[in-house]
């Protein structure tokens, strides 16, 4: 059940982020679901390898190169999923940042398990 809730929240975050960034288009709710799933898979499988390979550059830029890697993962997802278009690198970069922020806000307001301190 928790996976389904995460999927719905991530889908809503994709739709909101695509609405905010003008150069990003998502053709519908089902495409947003596919984008959320593919982006999760890409971030779980491909992103760690790319971050490991670009570790020296990431260290030199004090971690700012991670934004570039995130934008590349968004562009890879756009290449894989039909119906999801990203206008360019800057749009992918902004989409990644906005998606992260929207996801954080949505998961913060979601009622969850209370943890005792």
Average confidence (pLDDT) per 10 residues, the chain, 117 residues: 89 95 94 96 96 96 96 96 95 96 90 55
Non-local (6+) Cβ contacts of 3 within 8 A are: none
Where do the structural domains in the chain lie, given as residue ranges? 2-108
Pick the closest to residue 110 from 4, 40, 9 (CA basis): 9
Q: Read off the pTM.
A: 0.89
Q: Are 39 and 77 in contact (CB under 8 A)?
A: yes
């Amino acid at each position: 059940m928790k996976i389904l809730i995460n999927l719905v929240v991530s889908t809503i975050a994709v739709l909101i982020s695509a609405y905010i960034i003008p150069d990003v288009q998502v053709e519908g709710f089902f495409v947003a679901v596919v984008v959320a799933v593919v982006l999760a898979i890409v971030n779980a499988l491909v992103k760690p390898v790319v971050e490991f390979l670009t570790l020296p550059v990431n260290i030199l830029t004090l971690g700012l190169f991670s934004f570039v890697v995130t934008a590349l993962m968004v562009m890879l997802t756009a290449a894989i999923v039909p119906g999801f278009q990203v206008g360019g690198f800057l749009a992918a970069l902004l989409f990644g940042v906005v998606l992260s922020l929207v996801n954080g806000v949505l998961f913060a307001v979601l009622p969850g398990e209370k943890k005792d301190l």
